Amino acid sequence: MAQPGPPGSIDTLHDLLVMQRLLLVKKRQSNSRPHEQFEMQVQDEFRWRFNRQGALGEGLVASSEEGRAVRQTVKNRWMQWGIWERNWTDGPIGWSWRAGGSSEQWVASEENYSRPYYMFHNLVFVERKRIQAELRQAGSVDGELPDTNTRAYDRVRRFWLTSGIWRMPWGVIPGMSWKHEHALGVIDKEEMENTLENLKIGPSGRALSGSEDAEEEGMTNFQ
């Protein structure tokens, strides 16, 4: 019977790498929960506003009033989209998108707007408005370009990929269930093609509106 190797052996290093990988996958899995997504969208809205205005640089902190205004903006969007729960105050709580119901119950509903498919479309709409505002600020008459929809799609998809929200089995458009609604083992299998370095990419607060606007190879025009 084979005996485990001494500390520093290949077996021990392998076990450490496996554990490190699972921790990273678990972190990425948790980013699809309501609280994490809300906070990421708040941080993104904050950066987009003040980077556009040129009022703040990276690492600077705005006033508490401005911070509350940004949080209210994101909250208002969620209320408009029909995914804000009545028992939430400053931000989402818990794992489920629907108070008093399991994830499995709500995944089955095609009209549940907390599903990835609907959230993604709503965020693309927000990003499209941002791009139009940026174009107008840059001197464009109508704030529109032929590829505005595609650019908005690419920005949101890139953010979901780097923050770990995007599920590998999805094609061009997200499906109807989030990563945190599945067992860790299922998500780990989905992420098998990702290296440890890829799993580390994209802290949870990375902005949707990145400076990279290049279209990803194979992307279709998103209407």
Extract the tokens encoding 161.
């990929």
Extract the tokens encoding 98.
């629907």
**Cα gap 160→170, rounded to integer Å:** 12
pTM above 0.95, yes or no: no
Angle 128-129-135 (CA atoms, 0-180°, nearest 5)?
Answer: 90
User: One digit per residue, pLDDT tens: the chain, 223 residues?
Assistant: 555 555 555 578 777 777 777 788 788 888 999 999 999 999 999 888 877 776 445 444 567 888 889 999 999 999 999 999 888 998 998 777 764 334 444 444 445 789 999 999 999 999 999 998 888 877 765 656 668 899 999 999 999 998 899 998 998 999 999 999 999 888 888 887 665 555 554 444 443 444 343 333 333 344 4
Are the beta carbons of 114 and 99 closer than 8 angstroms? no
Task: Give the gyration radius of the chain's Cα atoms.
Answer: 20
Extract the tokens encoding 112.
């549940």
Extract the tokens encoding 151.
């650019």
